[in-house]
């Protein structure tokens, strides 16, 4: 088994980012700043917010967390959009009222939409970027490979599908309505799972020598789980993300790449 260690790659990129931030602070007097808006609380949300705060502290990016009620979100985003000292704004999903997701993410100014969830986003979404970094970092060429993408969510599946199709890749997407997931998986050279359902991908569904990227996260009883069943890690023929430290660390890294870009973009406005 070959593990695709996202944490190792993230460490390399993190050094480069810290250098970039120091340059922006020292040469340009810019203090890159990310605002995180939180309207709900659960173990996954709280974990992600704390990871982002710690990462920002490590590379000297200011991270401001606003815990607010849904009724306060619109005014807060309007205020942050106008605040030149804030370069990136994200709303930590899921929102307290999930029916408002499209409306809320589209309130964020495109130049500050570092999660790239709005319809006019100018940045690449973080998790698809992280997945592509991971594949590239381990020299996995997708050309000529049959790729199965499990999940079509707004954070990972949908934007990654668009990106892979734009690059001319042979990609099939499975979602909750797919009846023949076992068959599709077994035919695939590369499986990227972003369903967020604990253990939906089992060993019998994966062909010998396949590449498996687990980008799914679900929570049960305060614990987090991926899409890949534990039994899969007993095999020694796969190229696979570890149960911890695969896509996750790179997702945070990719988000902060967008924050740094957004802060650098302000130089051209002066």
Q: What share of the chain is helix, strand, coil (3-state, %, to 5)?
A: 45, 20, 35
> Cα 236 to chain center, whole Å?
27
The dihedral of CA 26, 27, 30, 36: what is its sign?
Answer: negative
- 28-51 tens-digit pLDDT: 999 999 999 999 988 888 988 999
Q: What is the mean pLDDT of the chain?
A: 94
Q: Is the full-model pTM beyond 0.75?
A: yes
Q: Which of 43, 53, 40 is nearest to 92 (CA)?
A: 40
Residues of the chain with pLDDT > 70: what percent? 98
In tens, the pLDDT along 64-84 reads 999 999 999 999 999 999 999
Domains of the chain: 24-109 (3.40.50.10860), 126-248 (3.40.50.720)
Q: What is the pLDDT of residues 155-193, one digit of tens each?
A: 899 999 999 999 999 999 999 899 999 999 999 999 999
For the segment 129-157, the average pLDDT, to the nearest whole number, is 94
Q: List pLDDT tens digits, range 110-124.
A: 999 999 999 999 999
pLDDT at 269: 65
Does residue 218 have a pLDDT over 80?
no
Q: Which residues of 243-255 are buried (b: 16+ CB within 10 A; e: fewer)?
A: eebbbbbbbbbbb
């Amino acid at each position: 088994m070959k593990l695709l260690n996202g944490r190792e790659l993230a460490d390399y990129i993190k050094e480069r980012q810290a250098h970039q931030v120091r340059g922006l602070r020292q040469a340009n007097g810019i203090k890159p700043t990310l605002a995180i808006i939180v309207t709900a609380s659960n173990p996954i949300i709280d974990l992600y917010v704390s990871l982002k705060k710690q990462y920002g502290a490590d590379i000297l990016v200011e991270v401001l967390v606003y815990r607010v009620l849904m009724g306060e979100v619109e005014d807060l985003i309007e205020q942050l959009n106008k605040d030149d000292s804030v370069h990136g704004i994200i709303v930590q999903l899921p929102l307290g009222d999930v029916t408002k997701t499209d409306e809320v993410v589209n309130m964020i100014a495109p130049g500050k939409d570092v999660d790239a969830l709005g319809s006019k986003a100018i940045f690449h979404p973080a998790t698809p970027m992280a997945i592509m970094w991971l594949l590239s970092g381990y020299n996995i060429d997708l050309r000529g490979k049959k790729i199965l993408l499990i999940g079509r969510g707004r954070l990972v599946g949908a934007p990654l599908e668009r990106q892979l199709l734009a690059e001319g890749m042979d990609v099939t997407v499975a979602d909750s309505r797919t009846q023949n997931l076992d068959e599709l998986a077994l035919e695939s050279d590369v499986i990227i799972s972003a369903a967020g359902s604990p253990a939906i991908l089992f060993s019998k569904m994966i062909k010998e020598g396949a590449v498996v990227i687990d980008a799914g996260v679900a929570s049960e009883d305060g614990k987090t789980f991926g899409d890949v069943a534990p039994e899969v890690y007993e095999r020694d023929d796969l190229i696979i993300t570890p149960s911890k430290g695969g896509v996750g660390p790179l997702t945070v890294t990719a988000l902060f790449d967008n924050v740094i870009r957004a802060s650098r973009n302000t130089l051209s406005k002066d």
